[in-house]
Structures are given as structure tokens and as C-alpha cells.
């Protein structure tokens, strides 16, 4: 069984419901959730939008290989209503965005799939919830813990930890 970390975000529609559905479908198609962070609200990163994002991180144990996980993620995003991915680094609002952050300590770069996720080092909205569930996890690319990566993150965006409890299992 492999430990995989994900980031989930939503800033369109019923954000909480979109995230909840994503978690249920990840459990159905990929594996069992081990840990889920708090939900954080943050402004969009790299573009402007009417609604802020809700973001969280979670870990799942799975036997699925990375390519299969990516296939399932794309289908889950479509099922929830996502129309397109970002094109040429241009971001836009989306009902759901699911990213694979880490797959055990593997380093993967196939062009379509990069693990660790190449942008996680620059995004407080990923590192802060990840810190909640994996502060001592060692990033295989840098050899640093999530705690150190968060301390060194140059993104100083203000995150609001939401006082929301929602059962996701």
C-alpha cells in the first residue's frame, strides 16, 4: 500500500459539497482516506475571481499506480462538473481541482504527471493544510520536511481556517 497526498480546492458552486463529493469519489476509486486537514479559505492564486477558494489536503492509502490515480482524478473532476484544466499556466475559477502532491517518496515526471507537484513549494494554501496532516513528511525532491517547506514558503497569502466540521467518510 502506498501513501498518497492530495490537495483539493473549489471556488465555484457549492464549494463544500464539491470537496465532499471529491473525497467520497477518491475513496471509492483510489483508496482509504487516512487523514484530512482543516478547510482553509484563501483568495485565488494567480488570477481574480468572485469567490475565494476552499482548500484542504488529505492522504490516502492505495494500491493504484500514479497513472491510474491521475486517470481517476480527471474523471472525478469531470463528474463533479469541471470543464477544463488551466491552459498554458492561465488559471480560472473551477468547481473542483484535485492535485497529487506526493506518491510515497517517488519522483515522477512524465510530462503529463509531475510528482511531487511542481507548484506546491510556492503555495501556502497547499503547504499549510498539508502541514496539519504531514508536518514531518520528507519531500523526496528537496529532502526537507513539510514544516521546513512551509517556513520557507515565500507566499504570504492570508489563509482563514474555517470553523467547519463536515464528515467526509
pLDDT of residue 46: 72
**Distance between CA atoms of residues 57 and 154, nearest Å:** 20
pLDDT of residue 37: 96
Q: How many residues does the chain have?
A: 169
Query: Per-residue pLDDT for 22 more than 90?
Result: yes
| Helix residue ranges, H only, 52-162 | 66-80, 124-134, 146-152
Lowest mean pLDDT among 12-26, 70-84, 129-143: 70-84
Q: Does residue 27 sit in helix, strand or coil? A: helix
Give per-residue pLDDT as tens, 111-146.
899 999 999 999 999 999 999 999 999 999 999 999
The answer to whether 53 and 9 are in contact (CB under 8 A) is: yes
Query: Per-residue pLDDT for 162 more than 80?
Result: yes
Portion of the chain with pLDDT greater than 90, in percent: 79
Domains of the chain listed by start with CATH number? 2-161 (3.30.70.560)
**Distance between CA atoms of residues 104 and 116, nearest Å:** 9
Whole-number average pLDDT of the chain: 91
Cα torsion 143, 151, 95, 22: sign: positive
Portion of the chain with pLDDT greater than 70, in percent: 91
Amino acid at each position: 500500500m502506498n501513501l498518497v497526498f492530495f490537495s483539493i480546492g473549489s471556488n465555484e458552486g457549492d464549494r463544500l459539497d464539491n470537496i465532499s463529493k471529491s473525497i467520497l469519489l477518491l475513496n471509492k476509486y483510489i483508496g482509504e482516506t487516512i487523514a484530512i486537514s482543516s478547510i482553509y479559505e484563501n483568495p485565488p492564486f494567480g488570477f481574480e475571481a468572485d469567490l475565494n477558494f476552499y482548500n484542504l489536503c488529505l492522504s490516502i492509502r492505495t494500491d493504484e499506480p500514479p497513472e491510474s490515480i491521475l486517470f481517476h482524478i480527471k474523471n472525478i473532476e469531470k463528474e463533479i462538473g469541471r470543464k477544463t484544466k488551466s491552459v498554458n499556466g492561465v488559471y480560472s475559477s473551477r468547481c473542483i481541482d484535485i492535485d497529487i502532491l506526493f506518491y510515497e517518496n517517488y519522483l515522477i515526471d512524465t510530462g503529463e504527471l509531475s510528482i511531487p507537484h511542481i507548484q506546491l513549494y510556492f503555495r501556502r494554501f497547499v503547504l499549510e493544510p498539508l502541514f496539519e496532516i504531514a508536518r514531518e513528511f520528507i519531500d523526496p525532491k528537496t529532502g526537507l520536511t513539510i514544516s521546513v517547506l512551509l517556513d520557507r514558503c515565500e507566499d504570504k497569502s492570508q489563509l482563514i481556517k474555517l470553523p467547519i466540521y463536515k464528515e467526509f467518510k
